[in-house]
Amino acid sequence: MKKARSPLQRKYLRLRGLRRASQAFFLLLFFYLLLQTNIGTLNRPDALPEISAPVGFFLEIDPLIAIFTVITTHTLYRNLLWALALVIATIFLGRLFCGWICPMGTINQMIGSIKSGRTKGARRLDANRYKPYQRWKYGILGVFFGAAVFTSLQVGLLDPIALLTRSMGLSVLPAYNVLTQEFAAWSLGGYTGWAESFMRFLGAIVSHVLIRANPVYFQGAILIALVFTAILVANRFITRFWCRGLCPLGALLGLLSRFSIFGMEKRDSLCTDCNICALNCQGADDPQPGYTWRQSECHLCFNCVAECPESGISFRFFPELAHTRQPVDVSRRLLMTTAVSGLAAVPLMRAEAGLKTGNDPSLVRPPGAVGEEAFLSRCVRCGECMNVCPNNALHPTLFQAGLEGMWSPMLVPRIGYCEPTCVLCGQVCPTGAIDEITPEEKAWVPVAGQKKTENPPLRIGIAFYDFGRCLPWAMATECIVCEEWCPTTPKSIYFEEVEIQDSKGEWKLLKRPHVDPALCVGCGACTYACPVKGDPAIYITSVGETRNPNNAILLKESTKP
């Protein structure tokens, strides 16, 4: 006969239910906010693109991003101050974020529960006991810390919030949208009779769950998806492998929770060695009596106390610590070695990429991006700026910015151009790598209702012609597409009228386009619209960008007599 649950068990069962509700709420909130950066309303032609939802909420409460941004920039940007609340909560309560809030942790738990549900007995007990690999995350944190000391913010590569935002926004959601678009189109053709009616009905349903009116594509989406998939699949072999062994945010919170005043208290005299607590443990923190509880690994899931039939363990403020708290299992030598490794990696990466002279000229950053050195000290590669771009113009780099700038945003005008009145990328950037500017400050086109500014427009690059591919120059064929698409006022593309003799010996008047570098802002509309297939006849480089005075193409007139 099953033993009745004690009042203490029922209390922790309610707490566990509350924890599960919290996980579900924050996971749904994460996806809701992510979808606010990827919806069709961004394509409205009758209004300035804008987002009112706090889409950067999870990135702004992330202590790892906040603390490491302070290290690299010596400043705390904007809403990152909210992360302080989570730091204080962790110091008092422990790793509450990991077990109750983190959407990446929730997804890993869901995947891992499939494996744990099928694993029984001794194998499951062994899988949920502390393992040496759980020290790896502290080594990863040390590497990122060393890089941050050298002003390189690399933590976004594995920070769980930045990683999940990047993976979902740049690979999973675009793939989903392509799939639904293809299915909706497929359902409309090739059917007759009742099948046609049914497929049209099915296609109508699918069309209502589209994320965007038009599919978006991102360079490097497959690589990003493979990394994300590998992390999820690892949970099928090692329970919550990411959370236990790799997550740098978990390592930071583990260090902060070492001295929390809320913790586990064990009553060894009540324990019957049933090991039920260890069988249900998510953090592999050895909750069972007879072992020393590892507070820095506990996710506060309360599975152990909710399942303990004898009430031999409980959580309370200022617990008796005789058989509970275990120091963080990481040596100073490991932390020093990894930190020095991260410190040494930065000059090696910069020696390859060359911040000042060696960057790929096609590396055009979004409008409002700070100087390259400051940019790499702030960008967390979350992908929010790319996901929010209404014209699908921003894409993750691979090696265009060197290894140090991998997955940071760049303009790819052949796929999309920078909308003249759009400043969403700066609005959603959580760390200030892209300054929050207004359409007036951008000053690419007159904006209705906005006061005209006398300041020069914010330039992200300049267009150049490849005369060997340009139709009027190379083939004496009339083409004015680039000038038609140029959004600046006055237009930065102008024509030179020349009289030429064609292959038949007949003379005709032809317009040959030129770029006025004083007016071009590098938006990429001309490159996007160029009808020449393959490499366009007009392309954008970062030359002349406002953020880097040393990259100017025009010499200023001397004021000396």
Average pLDDT for residues 549-554, to the nearest whole number? 78
Crossing angle of helices 136-149 and 332-353, in 10° steps, is 50
Question: Any idea what the Cα angle at residue 508 is, between residues 504 and 512, rounded to 5°?
Answer: 115
> How much helix, strand and coil, in percent to the nearest 5, is found in the chain?
45, 10, 45
123 residue type, one letter: R
- Mean pLDDT for the chain? 85
Using the predicted structure, report yes or no on whether residue 267 has a pLDDT greater than 70: yes
Q: Angle at the Cα of 106 (from 256 to 325), degrees rounded to 5? A: 35
Any idea which of 88-97, 108-117, 179-188, 504-513 has the lowest mean pLDDT? 179-188
Q: Does 522 score more than 90 pLDDT?
A: yes
Pick from 422, 435, 418, 443: nearest CA to 369: 435
Q: Please list, in sequence order, all residues whose beta carbon lies within 8 angstroms of the beta carbon of residue 504, skipping any fewer than 6 positions away.
A: none
Q: What is the structure's pLDDT at 1? A: 42
Distance CA 134, CA 116 (A): 18
Q: What is the pLDDT of residues 16-54, one digit of tens each?
A: 999 999 999 999 999 999 988 876 544 455 556 778 888
Q: How much is the average pLDDT of 386-403? A: 91
**Which tokens hold the place of 375?**
């940019």
What gap in Å lies between CA 547 and CA 455, rounded to an integer?
15
Q: Which residue has the higher pLDDT, 451 or 223?
A: 223
Rounded Cα–Cα distance for residues 262 and 315 (Å)? 7
Residue in 473, 417, 471, 426 with CA at minimum distance from that of residue 445 = 417
Lowest mean pLDDT among 205-209, 230-234, 317-321: 205-209
> At 368, is the pLDDT very low, low, confident or very high (cuts 50, 70, 90)?
very high
Q: Give residues with Cβ within 8 angstroms of 16, minimum separation 6.
A: 301, 302, 303, 306
- Does 272 score more than 90 pLDDT? no
Q: What is the pLDDT of residue 120?
A: 66
| 311, HSE (Cβ side, Cα atoms, 13 Å) | 11
Residue 227: pLDDT over 90? yes
Q: What is the DSSP string of 249-303?
A: HHHHHHHHGGG-SEEEEE-GGG-----HHHHT-SS----STTS---GGG-----H
Closest CA to 67 of 242, 244, 253: 253
pLDDT exceeds 60 at position 91: yes
Residues in Cβ contact with 352 at an 8 Å cutoff, skipping those fewer than 6 apart = 358, 402, 403
Q: pLDDT (tens digit, 9 = 90+) per residue, 292-332?
A: 888 889 999 998 888 888 777 888 888 876 656 566 767 78
Predicted confidence (pLDDT) per residue in 190-203, tens digit: 556 666 566 666 66
> Kindly report the CA angle at 244 between 238 and 250, in degrees rounded to 5?
155
Distance (Å, whole) CA 431 – CA 429: 6
Name the 3-class secondary structure at 178: helix
- Residue 248 confidence class, pLDDT cut points 50, 70, 90: very high
User: Integer distance in angstroms from the first to the last C-alpha of the chain?
Assistant: 103
Least confident of 241-255, 346-360, 361-375, 454-468: 346-360
Cα separation of 93 and 87, whole Å? Answer: 10
pTM over 0.75, yes/no: yes
Q: Where are the domains of the chain?
A: 11-40+54-349, 372-551
Contacts of 363 (CB under 8 A, 6+ apart): 397, 400, 401, 410, 542
pLDDT at 406: 93
Q: What is the identity of the amino acid at 424? A: L
Residue count of the chain:
561
Show Cβ contacts of residue 333 under 8 Å, excluding neighbours closer than 6 positions.
none
Is the torsion defined by CA of 454, 460, 462, 463 positive or negative?
A: negative
For residue 424, give the 3-state DSSP assignment: helix
**DSSP H stretches of helix in 50-135:** 57-60, 63-73, 83-93, 96-100, 103-118, 121-127
For the chain, give the percent of residues with pLDDT over 70. Answer: 85
Q: Which ranges in 120-217 belong to alpha helices (H)?
A: 121-127, 136-149, 160-167, 173-186, 193-207
- pLDDT score for 513: 96
416-435 residue pLDDT tens: 999 998 999 999 999 999 99
Which of 127-136, 214-223, 480-489: highest mean pLDDT?
A: 480-489
Buried b (16+ CB within 10 A) or exposed e, 442-457: bbbeebeeeeeeeeeb
Higher pLDDT among residues 372 and 5, named by residue: 372
Residue 74 confidence (pLDDT) above 50: yes
User: Are 425 and 368 in contact, with CB atoms under 8 Å apart?
Assistant: yes
Whole-angstrom Cα Rg for the chain:
28
Q: How far is CA 86 from the centre of its chain?
A: 20
